[in-house]
Structure 1
Amino acid sequence: MSERTIQFYFRGAIRQLEGAAPTRTVLQYLREDAHATGTKEGCAEGDCGACTVVLGEKVDGALQLRAVNACLQFVPTLDGKALFTVEDLAAIGPSARTGLLHPVQQGLVDRHASQCGFCTPGFAMSLFALYENNPQCPSRAAVCDALSGNLCRCTGYRPILDAVPAAYTRKRVSLDRPAVLAALDEMAALPTLDYAAAGQRFIAPRSLAELAATRLARPQARLLAGATDVGLWVTKQLRQLDDLIYLGAVPELKVIRVDEESLFIGAGVSLTDAFDALNTFEPAWAELARRFASTPIRNAGTLGGNLANGSPIGDAMPGLIALGAQIVLHKGEQRRRLPLEDFYLAYQQTALTPGEFVQAVLIPAPPAGQLFRTWKVAKRTDQDISAVCGAFALTLTDDIVSQARIAFGGVAATPLRARATERFLLDKPWCAATVEAAMDVLKNEYTPLSDLRASAAYRRQVTASLLRRLWLENSAASGMPVRLADVETLP
């Protein structure tokens, strides 16, 4: 590895950057260095969406465009990618010659979707990514999902949502993708980024072997994937991070493989792609996937990072534990597997040893007759931290519970299985009486804390209520809808 400048495609050319601290955020670079002040700073923690930008990468030969939060991304993570901000929109297609607004911008104007305007650039960028990725106007639900990371305090969301079909009524305007891809190919030929500035070092290995060697040589360095958590350490906790090893340039960590026996998801796979794979593998992931953070956070964050983080409220863990997932750990030339529930030792403490890193998670194929559900309980539908996240994987044989795995997050220092409840359910008929009795066991399974999100009593009640929900949604004896979304809207 040799030291070189950070290089990324921006404003129609490959830019070279040196001297910026490795933990300088993209938002800081844009506003303070590039003077691109259209991108706004709101919360500086990835919740408001005012700083939304779009990143471009080459994936399977095509240009992938995704909205992310500039306030959480460190400048060196731009290396080898394309960056688009709100100032770029009017320079796309014929607008560059005529001075016209991009269709999504004009749609926002036509539908009076901006008042103070502070949030508008972020909305425009989320909608730009949606527009570029969808030749036909997407459904209103898809638009709502795309805007889950953008907050508006002035106009409300109705005119913003109306701006999307308005944009699609105008003549199509498209990004010059071949030009962007050519720049990405040129940067892909550069050597590995080994960048140092301001007393900090940022290394971005280009292969699994290179990563393993770098990690062994620098076991105290901080591993960085999507920066959706580590970014907050810098912007909110003002922590000093000296050495960073970036995982986003390792192709082996972005592999998804599926066969008859298992689903393999590399640790560097984005949450967006990981949940797509999980939902294809087991459709009951859909509800949790939609409510997991926001679209920009899912685009940047990784499943491996969520697991390695060790948070007791990481929403992916309970479902994966219930499904019997194993975590694949890598150190030097050695690999080992652990059941995911054994990976967590104590509050934010894991079984990782010095020089070791998470390579992947492995989910076994579900047995015949398995009933799986995972749910998040929080005060808001979008962008909220769970009070409780629960998951159930029951195998029914002739309406008898032959296997049971139940896991919860938010009720202990680590995600935990409800082993007493599992034992109680085994070999019992799957009926209302069994469920009611199991609920009493489940209420006493954990000793949760009270905090700002929920009281201990509430958490105990919720764990039991989710088991009842499982029964109500999956029982032939219960034909009534148990979710508001399942109730047909009256004309």
Structure 2
Amino acid sequence: MRQAVHFLLNGQLRRLEAFDPTLTVLRYLRETEALLGTKEGCAEGDCGACTAVVADLHEGQLRYRAVNSCIQFVAQLDGKALFTVEALQSQAGLHPVQQAMVDCHGSQCGFCTPGFVMSMYAGSLNGVKPQRQAINEMLAGNLCRCTGYTPIIEAATRVLSQAPQPACAPAALQQQLEALPKHEGFELEYQGRRFIAPANSEELAQVLQRHPDATLLAGGTDVGLFVTKQHRSLATVVHLEKIPELSQIRQEGGGVRIGAAVSYQRARSALSRLYPALDALVSRVGAVQVRSMGTVGGNIGNGSPIGDMPPALIAAGAQLTLRCGSEVRSLPLEDYFIAYGKQNRQVGEWIESIWVPEPPANAVYRVYKITKRFEQDISSVCGAFNIGLLYHGDIPTVESARICFGGMAGTPLRATGCERWLVGRPWNAETIEQAAAILGREYTPLSDFRASAEYRSLVAANLLRRLYAQTVGQEDCAIAC
């Protein structure tokens, strides 16, 4: 393995070795490169003040992603190009994104402005439409405390209505990226700490044999917080991004297999084709910057009881594949979660992929995420329902049921008692009310700062009522959640 990281910074080559393995991109920009346009607001990937744009080659094509530099490690830039707000201005003057912010009076104190500019820049390069919903999603990861969003949205509308203007000619950038030694693995060591990026599963197995307690890093939206918020010193970090099989999405066996290192941004379309309801859910996983980095496998691997994807995938009947050396095993996703903070993963074992089956033709599949605010919030309750209905006459019968909730227990947990009771019964209001009562007995949620136990229990029952109302054409009914 090589012992240096190679990347492009605003078009210029950087080769780094012997540096802190968990040095964040934000700290590097400000403290080493003296590029002060990128700001630190929250240091946890929420406010967007630190937004920069990463370009890399995906399947031979240039790809641009807005990312939070505050929770990304410099070593993750290997083989990529990073652009900061300083790259946009040229001898001809301000970049059109910057000029639009000036013309529309989109800046007041200016602290958040570079982050907004870079999010708009990435959106422009990625062909985001100049429509309000698309703009809201593009900018959901950028917060402004003093200007108000109307002039910023006006600036975004203007920018997205114009032809994109890359800061670096795409052909030249692609040539520069192709010249970087990005495929082989690398290993950095600094003051007894390591950052290792294996190039394949065989190398990963060897690394984990030597370092069984290593911290596995996919996107870093959780691991970054270990450093910036918990101030932990990570002895060994093993980065999974370079392993080809962990970054693949492929059709397989009447479903889709998603590698553990596939980002939400890439997984979104594949999952939405199978289950259209997942598109809305994924759109509320963090914001664009988080979805550009965060992975489906990472969300499962950390074992959080309030992770967004596990309840949805459990309801879909997803299977998890884990690997340790050359040994591979599969298990239903729900069996991975044993108890709070405890998962069914052995020492030296890693999540390889998630297989999500196609839904049956008669399936009704819905996912509901309940939060205090719509954008960028963690679930108080997340409920996922996969109900198979068999029609004989006017009232269908429940043929199958998979129901899973997050936020209702120490792990994402199926409502197996409610499922068993539903199967074989008519899908009507009386059945739903009795099923809702069973839900209340199956879960004993906790009270915390997101919601009380009583609220969570009420919400779980009401989500089942909402599902029923939607299936019988009463989508506008008033159900308190």
Normalised by the length of structure 2, the TM-score is: 0.96
2:316 to 314, 323, 341: 323
Tell me the residue number matched to 2:388: 395
1:410 to 386, 403, 407: 407
Of 192-201 and 118-127, deviating more is 192-201
Contact 1:313 1:410 in 2 (8 A): yes
Paired amino acid for 1:338: L
SS in 2 for 1:188: coil
Determine the C-alpha separation between the residues in 2 that align with 1:189 and 1:248.
11
Shift of 1:381: 0.2
Would you say 1:145 and 2:149 are equivalent positions?
no
Residues 72-101 of structure 1, C-alpha deviations (whole Å, 9 max, x = no match): 0011111111101010111xxxxx331x11
Tell me the residue number matched to 1:111: 104
Gaps of 5+ in 2: none
Shift of 1:275: 2.1
Determine the C-alpha separation between the residues in 1 that align with 2:385 and 2:155.
40
Contact 1:444 1:460 in 2 (8 A): no
Tell me the residue number matched to 1:334: 327
Shift of 1:193: 1.2
Tell me the residue number matched to 1:277: 270
Of 15-24 and 354-363, deviating more is 15-24
Paired amino acid for 1:462: V
Shift of 1:104: 1.0
Determine the C-alpha separation between the residues in 1 that align with 2:412 and 2:182.
42
Shift of 1:171: 6.4
Tell me the residue number matched to 1:46: 45
Determine the C-alpha separation between the residues in 1 that align with 2:479 and 2:125.
34
SS in 2 for 1:396: strand
Tell me the residue number matched to 2:91: 97
Tell me the residue number matched to 1:5: 4
Contact 1:472 1:482 in 2 (8 A): no
SS in 2 for 1:368: coil
Determine the C-alpha separation between the residues in 2 that align with 1:394 and 1:120.
46
Determine the C-alpha separation between the residues in 1 that align with 2:133 and 2:114.
21
Of 181-190 and 44-53, deviating more is 181-190
Contact 2:55 2:82 in 1 (8 A): yes
1:300 to 290, 293, 301: 293
Shift of 1:447: 0.4
Tell me the residue number matched to 1:488: none
Paired amino acid for 1:144: N
SS in 1 for 2:180: helix
Determine the C-alpha separation between the residues in 2 that align with 1:443 and 1:309.
27
Determine the C-alpha separation between the residues in 2 that align with 1:403 and 1:305.
29
Determine the C-alpha separation between the residues in 2 that align with 1:483 and 1:460.
14
1:198 to 191, 207, 215: 191
Would you say 1:28 and 2:27 are equivalent positions?
yes
Determine the C-alpha separation between the residues in 2 that align with 1:316 and 1:266.
14
Contact 2:131 2:157 in 1 (8 A): no
Contact 2:215 2:234 in 1 (8 A): yes
Contact 1:326 1:362 in 2 (8 A): yes
Change (3 A) 1:284 1:479: closer
Determine the C-alpha separation between the residues in 1 that align with 2:79 and 2:141.
25
Change (3 A) 1:479 1:271: closer
Shift of 1:212: 2.3
Determine the C-alpha separation between the residues in 2 that align with 1:250 and 1:224.
12
Contact 2:257 2:353 in 1 (8 A): yes
Residues 167-187 of structure 1, C-alpha deviations (whole Å, 9 max, x = no match): 256665234112221122111
Tell me the residue number matched to 1:158: 150
Determine the C-alpha separation between the residues in 2 that align with 1:198 and 1:373.
50
Of 331-340 and 255-264, deviating more is 255-264
Would you say 1:19 and 2:12 are equivalent positions?
no
Contact 2:250 2:257 in 1 (8 A): yes
Shift of 1:481: 5.7
2:202 to 185, 199, 209: 209
Determine the C-alpha separation between the residues in 1 that align with 2:475 and 2:445.
33
Determine the C-alpha separation between the residues in 1 that align with 2:399 and 2:301.
31
Change (3 A) 1:202 1:440: same
Change (3 A) 1:126 1:168: closer
Of 403-412 and 195-204, deviating more is 195-204
Tell me the residue number matched to 1:350: 343
Which residues of 2 match residues 354-365 of structure 1 at below 5 A?
354-365=347-358
Shift of 1:190: 6.3
Shift of 1:11: 2.3
Identity of aligned residues (%): 48
SS in 2 for 1:122: helix
Would you say 1:63 and 2:62 are equivalent positions?
yes
Residues 39-78 of structure 1, C-alpha deviations (whole Å, 9 max, x = no match): 0000101111100111111001111100110010011111
Contact 1:52 1:125 in 2 (8 A): yes
Determine the C-alpha separation between the residues in 2 that align with 1:482 and 1:272.
33
Residues 326-364 of structure 1, C-alpha deviations (whole Å, 9 max, x = no match): 110011111100101100111121111111000000111
Determine the C-alpha separation between the residues in 2 that align with 1:468 and 1:431.
10
Would you say 1:120 and 2:113 are equivalent positions?
yes
Contact 1:323 1:363 in 2 (8 A): yes
Paired amino acid for 1:372: Y
Paired amino acid for 1:72: I
Determine the C-alpha separation between the residues in 1 that align with 2:162 and 2:348.
54
Aligned residues between the structures: 475
Change (3 A) 1:172 1:235: closer
